[in-house]
Amino acid sequence: MEFHKTRRLPPYVFEQVNRLKAKARAAGADIIDLGMGNPDLPTPKHIVEKLTETVQDPRSHRYSASKGIKGLRKAQAAYYGRRFGVKLDPETQVVATLGSKEGFANMAQAITAPGDVVLVPNPSYPIHAFGFLMAGAAVRHVPAEPTVEFFHALERAVVHSVPKPTALILCYPSNPTAYVADLEFYKDVIAFARKHEVFVLSDLAYSEIYFDGPPPPSVLQVPGAMDIAVEFTSLSKTYSMPGWRMGFAVGNERLIAALARVKSYLDYGAFTPIQVAASAALNGPDECIEETRQIYKKRRDVLVESFANAGFEVPAPRASMFAWAPIPEKFRHLKSLEFSKLLIEKADVAVAPGIGFGEYGDDYVRIALVENEQRIRQAARNIRRFLESADETLHNVIPMGARL
């Protein structure tokens, strides 16, 4: 028998793809992995050097501070001041987290009562929904795209949800869809949330990975947002530090205090040398951020062009390290999990099935920009061979003819 909380979680669809990927590699296949959003770029040298320096001090090996060392919280507050013009009190409005994912999950534990209703975009990053499901909440979905329909869905949710929604989750630039939101959108969100007394939890993990248009804004730039909103950021993508597990929650003092209190019972914070190195990242030069951004942009351009030439049209994302690609029409009836399996088996390419981000993602796959340009072009060549031969090689496996 499953335990109560694990019963609320669906099968982890990504694990099915991972198993097939591992089996193919064990058989000698060269799988080009564009599935997991796991940055492949090295952490900038000055950050690694600060870690190496600090770890030599035995005093840094002791328990750290759950909410983050003071210097790190001050560095994050300074970053928000420079980047967004948002003033934060590092004592009361900043908490360091073990990545933004942990921050979301523990915020859910901190503020959720059994039966609470939380509004979550669909499709969206899994922790946005499942963090609250594990905490006992009910999830009501709203569209992921920041359009007028988003607000129509919010209005319907307030009218028809019992009890009234407690919190609204945002994620722009979005994982997985790469949608971006502007400040006018955030102004409307904050006006709605203040009117209906709904907390806003914003995931801004991809704030520095943008290509076209202005830099993504923070919801906390909106006047009055600090009364109801908390924003989560991460160093994973900005500084290529995914395994370091360093993120932040900033914003409303009451929500930050609740998160800090829960965390104080659960962890002693990240290893102190990691926190010191993270401070060096935030206080250090920005050239490494721009370099990373340009690498992802070049990869995006190569992906869009080479996949289009292969017969797989991929819309160019304006931001994030992902492309959200409609499954080619001929294969759309298979849905995203089976199509993702086919790409591993027939093209030696791994992508993330859209169903893993919600049922409204099942006509898409997410493609991560985590391989170099040469490997992306190789993936396109593999996919082209697969698509060109599909009618002959798959006619006894799946019903292709009726879909032509």
Pick the closest to residue 369 from 312, 317, 311, 309 (CA basis): 317
Exposure of 291 by Cβ count < 10 A (0-12 exposed, 13-18 middle, 19+ buried)? exposed
Mean pLDDT for the stretch of residues 161-185: 96
Structural tokens at position 45: 């040298």
Amino acid at site 182: D
pLDDT higher than 50, residue 337: yes
Give the Å distances, CA to CA, from 37 to 73, 221, 320. 26, 28, 10
In angstroms, the CA 297 to CA 291 distance is 10
| pLDDT reading at 338 higher than 90 | yes
What local confidence, expressed as pLDDT, does residue 365 receive? 98
Confidence band of 395 (pLDDT split at 50, 70, 90): low
Phi, psi of 172, deg, nearest 5: -145, 130
Looking at residue 320, the DSSP 8-state letter turns out to be S
Q: Render pLDDT for 244-255 as a digit per residue (tens, 0 to 9).
A: 999 999 999 999
**If you average pLDDT over every residue of the chain, what do you get?**
94
User: Which DSSP string do the residues of 100-145 spell out, in sequence order?
Assistant: HHHHHHHHHHHHPPTT-EEEEEES--HHHHHHHHHTT-EEEEEESS
Predicted confidence (pLDDT) per residue in 221-272, tens digit:
999 999 999 999 999 999 999 999 999 999 999 999 999 999 999 999 999 9
The pLDDT score that the predictor gives to residue 14 is: 84
Cβ(256)–Cβ(92) below 8 Å? yes
pLDDT band at 398 (very low <50, low <70, confident <90, very high): low
- Give the pLDDT mean for 294-320: 98
Residue 106 in this model has a pLDDT that exceeds 90: yes
Query: Does the bond joining 123 to the residue before it have cis omega, within 30 degrees of 0?
Result: yes
401: pLDDT confidence band, cut at 50, 70 and 90? very low
Radius of gyration for the alpha carbons in the chain, expressed in angstroms and rounded: 22
Arithmetic mean of pLDDT, 328-344:
95
Closest CA to 48 of 296, 281, 283, 271: 281
Query: Locate tokens 């099968």: which residue?
Result: 11
Q: What is the pTM of this model?
A: 0.93
* Residue 38, pLDDT score: 92
Q: Is it the case that residue 10 has pLDDT exceeding 80?
A: no
167 token code pair? 């919190």
Look at the block and give the residue holding tokens 């030439």: 309
Determine what percent of the chain is predicted with pLDDT higher than 90.
Answer: 91
Q: What is the pLDDT of residue 16?
A: 86
